[in-house]
């Protein structure tokens, strides 16, 4: 029996089907795509399976591959339910991830990137055009000229084209983040070449133009709004509940995959056990308010985990794929937390402290309006740093989806503190103190170190004014240590602990202590009786939190310690 391999990092649909690799069947979405829109725009976070999905669509619709339909799609849903449009199109596809964002090389790189795809197109379909088509297409130098010529020739011969663009905003996001608004505007506004390219696409997709279908993916709607003044050449289906599960894995799909490997004796644990390990790290992405019942796993993260777990029979030491970290680092520059700790940084800190926020998901907004709160929250949502959790006060409730994302937000916030020269801790020293806290119960040095630095680094004094800021600093730094999984605003017994330091027993089963921490903040002129009242209040809350069944379950055999921290201004006046 041939056991299917894990397709980690693969986007070649043919290879996945032939070798074979395990494939999560998404082909039933083809019917819905055809029924919903001819021109389809889909936004999803990075590394969610967009490129593989596009490659699958190309194999399905490509007239050049029509005779291989049964070979490639047999056993999949669409293999038994083909639509009338199967194998009917000439396929023109682009992937703009390969475009060099260096302003001095951008135009040449864009033209070279597109030229390779036009050359491939001519090689596959040149015989369907008039003589000289391929040579003339090759002679033209610029992408817009080639596209214009192709559209004209295909229109004359009534040849239908399905156009795909993967990562349409990859290089524009890089320019916006690393070069600035001025260069970004030059290519997306007025006579900018990228805007002109999209104008040509629109010409080819209207009236009797040959572009009959279009599928475009990216990570945000920003560039599309700028190059088209709103996506007016098709339907943005990114928040349509019918397509919540088009990319990524549902829990049922993950369970089916795990069951397959369990049946062939490759899964060391039980299916429920492995789900319990992966879910807090990789699940809980929701892309529509009407799809709260169907949260999605990040497919790259699941495949990364199984690529380690199946052969080694143990959980990977690092639950986060380094490729995911790299992608989030790229996004960090686009988020642009300002050095003066203004609105955007405060939003991140609020999200880190509370785990959620409310806002309105904007389906379109220009780059120049990124700093507006709802647009900024929308950007975090599109990047996968927030997800839809429900509704609150008539607005969309947005929350951190999982532990992988939470760690990235901690990292963003710590960098913002450092870049603003506001607050910084030595991570090696903090890590050693936290380890002593975990294994020897020496918890006071951790918070005393934090408090002493809070007092010593005087620039922070103008910024701190309240409990939320103190908790934000604590959470961000403690969240980057490896011993505990930090749960802010941990719901316990109908109340919220400021944060629960849950021991990472999966990777460090010998941890001895776990902690629940309650932070109180007093005015700078608070009296001794007021401080004592806060201490009494915290003690009562901690006692209730400690009795929560979730705490009892997740602390394992560790000894649970309850800690009260009371800050008076920037002074730690109680550490019990």
Structural tokens at position 178? 């690393």
- Record the pTM: 0.93
pLDDT of residue 146: 98
In the sheet with 235-236, reading across from the earlier edge strand, the strands are 90-95, 161-166, 211-218, 39-43, 235-236
Q: Residue for token digits 């339909």?
A: 69
Rounded to 5, what percent of the chain is helix, strand, coil?
50, 15, 35
Is the link from the previous residue into 20 a cis peptide, with omega within 30 of 0?
A: yes
Cα–Cα separations (whole angstroms), residue 137 to 70, 141, 220, 337? 33, 9, 32, 45
The DSSP annotation for 296-363 comes to EE-HHHHHHHHHHHHHHSS--S-SS-HHHHHHHHHHHHHH---TT--HHHHHHHHHHHHSEEEE---S
- Using an 8 Å Cβ cutoff, are 21 and 15 in contact? yes
- Using an 8 Å Cβ cutoff, are 324 and 403 in contact? no
pLDDT of residue 260: 98
d(CA 113, CA 107): 10
How many of the other CB atoms lie within 10 Å of CB of 421?
11
pLDDT of residue 394: 85
pLDDT of residue 399: 96
Torsion of CA 249, 254, 257, 258, to 10 degrees: 160
How many of the other CB atoms lie within 10 Å of CB of 46?
20
Torsion of CA 107, 100, 234, 85, to 10 degrees: 110
pLDDT of residue 340: 53
Pairing of strands 296-297, 249-250: antiparallel
pLDDT of residue 489: 72
> pLDDT truncated to tens, each residue of the chain (576 aa)?
899 999 999 999 999 999 999 999 999 999 999 999 999 999 999 999 999 999 999 999 999 999 999 999 999 999 999 999 999 999 999 999 999 999 999 999 999 999 999 999 999 999 999 999 999 999 999 999 999 999 999 999 999 999 999 999 999 999 988 888 899 999 999 999 999 999 999 999 999 999 999 999 999 999 998 988 655 667 889 999 999 999 999 999 999 999 999 999 999 999 999 999 999 999 999 999 999 999 999 999 999 999 999 999 999 999 999 888 777 777 776 665 555 555 777 888 889 888 899 999 999 899 899 888 999 999 999 999 999 999 988 889 999 999 999 999 998 888 877 877 777 889 999 999 999 999 999 999 999 999 998 878 755 555 555 666 788 889 999 999 989 999 887 665 555 668 899 999 999 999 999 999 999 988 888 999 999 999 999 999 999 898 888 899 999 999 999 999 999 877 899 998
Helix (H) or strand (E) holding 516, with range, is strand 513-522
Q: Is the dihedral of CA 190, 192, 193, 198 positive or negative?
A: negative
Nearest Cα residue to 237 out of 50, 92, 44, 93: 44
pLDDT of residue 303: 98
- Using an 8 Å Cβ cutoff, are 567 and 521 in contact? yes
pLDDT of residue 467: 65
Give, to the nearest 10 degrees, the angle between helix 29-36 and helix 50-61.
80
Cα–Cα separations (whole angstroms), residue 441 to 278, 444, 546? 29, 9, 17
């Amino acid at each position: 029996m041939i056991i299917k391999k894990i397709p980690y990092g693969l986007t070649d649909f043919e290879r996945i089907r032939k070798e074979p690799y395990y494939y999560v069947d998404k082909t039933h979405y083809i019917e819905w795509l055809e029924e919903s829109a001819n021109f389809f725009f889909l936004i999803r976070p990075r590394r969610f399976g967009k490129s593989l999905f596009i490659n699958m669509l190309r194999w399905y619709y490509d007239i050049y591959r029509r005779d291989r339909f049964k070979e490639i799609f047999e056993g999949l849903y669409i293999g038994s339910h083909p639509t009338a449009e199967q194998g009917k199109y000439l396929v023109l596809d682009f992937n703009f991830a390969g475009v060099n964002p260096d302003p001095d090389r951008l135009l040449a790189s864009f033209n070279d990137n597109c030229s390779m795809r036009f050359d491939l197109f001519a090689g596959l379909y040149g015989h369907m055009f008039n003589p000289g088509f391929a040579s003339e297409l090759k002679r033209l130098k610029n992408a817009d000229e080639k596209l214009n010529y192709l559209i004209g020739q295909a229109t004359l011969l009534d040849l239908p084209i399905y156009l795909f663009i993967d990562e349409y905003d990859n290089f524009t996001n890089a320019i916006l983040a690393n070069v600035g608004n001025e260069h970004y505007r030059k290519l997306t506004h007025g006579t900018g070449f990228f805007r002109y390219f999209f104008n040509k696409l629109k010409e080819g997709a209207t009236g009797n133009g040959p572009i009959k279908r279009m599928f475009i993916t990216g990570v945000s709607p920003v560039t599309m709004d700028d190059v088209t003044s709103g996506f007016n050449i098709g339907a943005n289906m990114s928040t349509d509940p019918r397509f919540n599960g088009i990319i990524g894995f549902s829990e049922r799909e993950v369970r089916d995959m795990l069951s397959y490997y369990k049946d062939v004796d490759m899964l060391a644990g039980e299916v429920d056990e492995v789900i319990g390990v992966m879910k807090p790290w990789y699940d809980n992405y929701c892309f529509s308010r009407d799809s709260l019942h169907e949260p999605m796993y990040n497919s790259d993260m699941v495949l990364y985990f199984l690529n380690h777990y199946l052969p080694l029979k143990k959980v990977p030491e690092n639950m986060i794929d380094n490729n995911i970290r790299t992608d989030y680092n790229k996004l960090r520059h686009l988020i642009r937390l300002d050095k003066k700790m203004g609105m955007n940084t405060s939003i991140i800190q609020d999200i880190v402290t509370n785990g959620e926020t409310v806002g309105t998901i904007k389906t379109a907004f220009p780059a120049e309006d990124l700093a507006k709160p709802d647009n900024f929250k929308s950007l975090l949502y599109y990047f996968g740093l927030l997800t839809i959790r429900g509704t609150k006060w008539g607005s969309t409730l947005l929350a951190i989806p999982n532990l992988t994302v939470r760690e990235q937000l901690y990292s963003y916030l710590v960098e913002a503190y450092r870049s603003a020269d506001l607050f910084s801790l030595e991570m090696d020293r903090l890590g050693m103190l936290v380890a002593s806290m975990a294994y020897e119960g020496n918890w006071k040095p951790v918070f005393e170190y934090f408090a002493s630095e809070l007092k010593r680094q005087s620039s922070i004094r103008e910024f701190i004014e309240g409990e939320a800021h103190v908790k934000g600093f604590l959470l961000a730094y403690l969240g980057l240590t490896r011993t505990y999984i930090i749960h802010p605003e941990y719901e316990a017994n109908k109340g919220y602990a400021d944060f629960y330091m849950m021991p990472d027993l999966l990777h460090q089963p010998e941890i001895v202590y776990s902690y629940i921490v309650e932070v109180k903040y007093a005015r700078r002129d608070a009296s001794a009786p007021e401080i004592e009242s806060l201490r009494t209040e915290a003690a009562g809350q901690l006692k209730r939190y400690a009795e929560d069944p979730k705490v009892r379950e997740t602390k394992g055999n560790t000894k649970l310690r309850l800690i009260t921290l009371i800050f008076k201004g920037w002074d730690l006046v109680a550490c019990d």
